[in-house]
Amino acid sequence: MTDPSASTGPEYQPRILNRELGTLAFNERVLALAEDPLVPLLERLRYVCIVSSNLDEFFEIRIAGLKQELLHDARARTPDDIALVELMQSISTRSRALVARQYALFNRTLVPELESAGVAMIQGLHWTEAQEAWAHSYFESDVLPVLTPIGLDPAHPFPRVLNKSLNFIVELEGADAFGRDSGIAIVQAPRVLPRVIRMPAEVARVADNFITLGAILRRFMQQLFPGMTVIGCHEFRVTRNSDLFVDDEEVKNLRTALEGELFERHFGDAVRLEVTAGCTERMVGFLMQQFGLKPLDVYRVDGPVNLVRLNQIPDLIDRPELKFAPFRPGLPKDIRRLWKPDANLFEVIAGRDVLLHHPYQTFQPVLDFLRAASVDPAVVAIKQTIYRTGSESALMETLIQAARNGKEVTVVVELKARFDEETNINWASRLEEVGAHVVYGVVGYKTHAKMLLVVRREGAHLRRYAHLSTGNYHIRTARLYTDFGLFTANPALCEDVNELFKQLTGLGRASDMNHLWQAPFTLHARVMEAIAAEAAIAAAGRPAHIIARMNALLEPQVIEALYAASQAGVRIDLIVRGVCALRPQVPGLSDNIRVRSVIGRFLEHSRVFYFHADGREDVYLSSADWMYRNFFRRIETCFPVLDRKLRERVMREGLRLYLKDSSATWIMNAAGEYAPPPRASAVRSPQAELLRLLAAGTDDES
């Protein structure tokens, strides 16, 4: 058999695809939903904003990391054997094309169509007299008092500019009262001011009329410089390196170290400069010099530089016809009669495992379970991991109340959950104030596992109850992300969960687990073994099949194992929402591998792994993607679905439906390119079918 990696000629293609270009391809798929006329208008606007938010994080973390790598080694190459310098050029080219497509859609399609539907976003200067009078009054009463224009001269150096903040560079003519005429001023939009303002009904042109703060500032900027002439006023925004650096070997107190780093995150090294399209070359050059950036790092945009802030608009408008239809999450049919407010939930779980499929099924049982544990006299201990939970959380308040009620509450709070560090520090403080045991996991490893363990005294014995999940204990994202959660009283599985909590809070060597695969110790090895076992079954001439659903597939050893399994005859279906570095459908290498991506109304977040296993049909749910960091730099769980009926549910709802559907599925080819679905639409996806089957108590579970 020919090894495709042996060639070095012009047609040579590496065995793995590039991560950064894969991330941009994912955002191109998200933008396709914003372009889809079948998607409601306000949801299309929301997708445009999601792309901007995703690109922000891409530059803050991934591009910032590549720039650091280039500083250390100008000849560095990527894992897919691209010179890093060349990759940065490719990223710039593709990013610019994506941004241009995004703003063209926004300006030429969404803005006019929304206005026709009664939603107007005023950005320019085409205002009625009444609107201008109102805007001027608003500027003088709410904006002007908090502005601090900085005229640049030797006594007023260029100010520190916060990461992703809205700013203006102003070109001036004339001299001020002191005779200064530097010609340049900087105006920073204070963070206390809203970026989107609703116009009052008496001056609004349509039912829902909004104006951006940037438009107001541009219109009345002249008032900040009396006696001088504003000849140019341009929005700009700088994106900075936002990866926190904490030396794991030097840190003595992780919480204290992070608190010190959080403020500095706002002022990390600049990695991208966004300016409005009309900004002069002189001003762009001046800004590049101030931030130490090159032309490759500058992005001119035809509209607001802080487009992501428009994501507030859909939430400010009560227009159901312009949004996805609301839904009421349901409950699994087999527990609907049992899961009542006055029911003994521990008896329900002791009698059967309970599976929830969010967001189609409600997250409320998780809250009910924790609340029951917080007040039940028989409950002696509650243990939970927290990765992301939100600044306002009924779940966290319940943990605090449980500690007040005298329960032994132990919470493993991951302080390094990116962009949630401050929120988690605040929750840790509140938990400690009521006597809960708060630990921060293991230095050097993020605790990404999602686990809740309750210990209850029943007669002369203690019994454990567990909840394991693929997603975070975050009530809001449980309405937006697809995830599975499992309640179980299975003694062996609960013993595994307890053992993992012991590892996180205490000291000692890792013990063998009954069912749980855990990172960083056994998860990678078990996944590799399961793939190899499937390959051996295929080599023996028996049916073999692997289905894996995840957010990202990047780990090289797993990719090579999947290639080997494909060559042995294993049928492999991969459902990867985001970046997939595996190259499918390469003759002689990955003929039997299909890769698809589903982008829809909800963020695909579930991790589900299926191995045919000679007819045994093993199904696992996991907190981990198949990435190096998840296997080796994080605390992760991967747990089997042991109940036969629930296993069939996961296969039906989490895998088969996604393989069957083609109306909203993107298919990857051997070059790493995605063919769009024939009818790409968030309203024609497997998610829409699951809403029909599971939401509002309409599931067909037998």
- DSSP letter for each residue of 517-586: EEETTTHHHHHHHHHHHHHHHHHTTS--EEEEEES-B--HHHHHHHHHHHHHT-EEEEEESS-B-B--S-
Task: Say how far apart CA 188 and CA 180 lie, in whole Å.
Answer: 20
Q: Which of 112-121, 435-444, 670-679 shows the highest mean pLDDT?
A: 112-121
- pLDDT tens column, 158-181: 998 999 999 999 999 887 666 666
Give the per-residue pLDDT at 8.
39
- DSSP letter for each residue of 661-681: --TTEEEE-TTS-EEPPTT--
Question: Tokens standing for 225?
Answer: 């410089």
Task: Say how far apart CA 566 and CA 591 lie, in whole Å.
Answer: 7
Could you say which DSSP state residue 606 is in? -
Instruction: Tell me the percentage of the chain whose pLDDT exceeds 70.
Output: 91
Question: Tokens standing for 89?
Answer: 């050029």
Note whether 485 and 470 are within 8 A (CB). Answer: yes
Give the per-residue pLDDT at 180.
63
Q: What is the mean pLDDT of residues 271-287?
A: 96
More reliable by pLDDT, 680 or 235: 235
- pLDDT tens column, 395-410: 999 999 999 999 999 9
CA-based nearest residue to 695, from 395, 333, 349:
333
Helix (H, G, I), strand (E, B), or coil: what is residue 441? Answer: coil
- DSSP letter for each residue of 112-153: HHHHHTTEEEE-SS---HHHHHHHHHHIIIIIGGG---EE-B
Give the per-residue pLDDT at 696.
73
Q: Given pLDDT bands bounded at 50, 70 and 90, which one contains residue 698? A: very low
Which residue in the block uniquely carries the two structure tokens 């959660």? 485
Q: What is the mean pLDDT of residues 318-325?
A: 95
- pLDDT tens column, 539-567: 999 999 999 999 999 999 999 999 999 99
Task: Say how far apart CA 695 and CA 581 lie, in whole Å.
Answer: 34
Give the per-residue pLDDT at 532.
98
Helices (H), 304-363: 313-316, 345-351
Give the per-residue pLDDT at 442.
82
Give the per-residue pLDDT at 9.
38
Q: What is the mean pLDDT of residues 144-148?
A: 94
Give the per-residue pLDDT at 237.
97
Contacts with 629 (C-beta within 8 Å, 6 or more apart), sequence order: 446
Mean pLDDT lowest among 178-182, 202-206, 483-487: 178-182
On the question of pLDDT at 496 being above 80, the answer is yes
Q: What is the mean pLDDT of residues 147-168?
A: 88
**19-35 helix and 84-105 helix, angle to the nearest 10 degrees:** 10
Task: Say how far apart CA 166 and CA 188 lie, in whole Å.
Answer: 6
Q: What is the mean pLDDT of residues 371-385?
A: 96
Contacts with 577 (C-beta within 8 Å, 6 or more apart), sequence order: 26, 550, 551, 552, 597, 598, 599, 603, 604, 605
Q: What is the mean pLDDT of residues 345-366?
A: 96
Task: Say how far apart CA 594 and CA 611 lie, in whole Å.
Answer: 15
Contacts with 466 (C-beta within 8 Å, 6 or more apart), sequence order: 451, 452, 453, 454, 487, 488, 489, 493, 494, 497
Catalytic residues, which ones? 448
Helix (H, G, I), strand (E, B), or coil: what is residue 407? Answer: coil
- pLDDT tens column, 642-695: 999 999 999 999 999 999 877 778 999 999 999 988 765 555 689 989 999 999
Note whether 644 and 659 are within 8 A (CB). Answer: no
Task: Say how far apart CA 167 and CA 236 lie, in whole Å.
Answer: 5
Q: What is the mean pLDDT of residues 103-114?
A: 96
| Average model confidence (pLDDT) across the chain | 90
Task: Say how far apart CA 580 and CA 412 lie, in whole Å.
Answer: 31
CA-based nearest residue to 32, from 116, 98, 113, 114:
98
Q: Given pLDDT bands bounded at 50, 70 and 90, which one contains residue 631? A: very high
Give the per-residue pLDDT at 681.
56
| Other CB atoms within 10 Å distance of the CB of residue 402 | 25
- pLDDT tens column, 590-618: 999 999 999 999 999 999 999 999 999 99
Q: Given pLDDT bands bounded at 50, 70 and 90, which one contains residue 515? A: very high
State the burial class of residue 441 (Cβ atoms within 10 Å of its Cβ: 0-12, 13-18, 19+).
buried
Mean pLDDT lowest among 153-167, 250-264, 369-383, 608-622: 250-264
Task: Say how far apart CA 70 and CA 63 lie, in whole Å.
Answer: 11
Task: Say how far apart CA 134 and CA 557 lie, in whole Å.
Answer: 62
Task: Say how far apart CA 179 and CA 357 lie, in whole Å.
Answer: 68
Note whether 390 and 417 are within 8 A (CB). Answer: no
Q: Given pLDDT bands bounded at 50, 70 and 90, which one contains residue 5? A: very low
Give the per-residue pLDDT at 266.
57
- pLDDT tens column, 29-44: 999 999 999 899 999 9
Domains of the chain: 19-35+41-247+271-322 (3.30.1840.10), 333-505 (3.30.870.10), 517-697 (3.30.870.10)
Q: What is the mean pLDDT of residues 104-131?
A: 90
Task: Name all contacts of 398-402 with Cβ < 8 Å and 24+ positions apart.
Answer: 398/367, 398/370, 398/371, 398/374, 399/370, 399/374, 399/431, 399/436, 400/430, 400/431, 400/434, 400/436, 401/374, 402/370, 402/373, 402/374
Question: Tokens standing for 34?
Answer: 């914003």
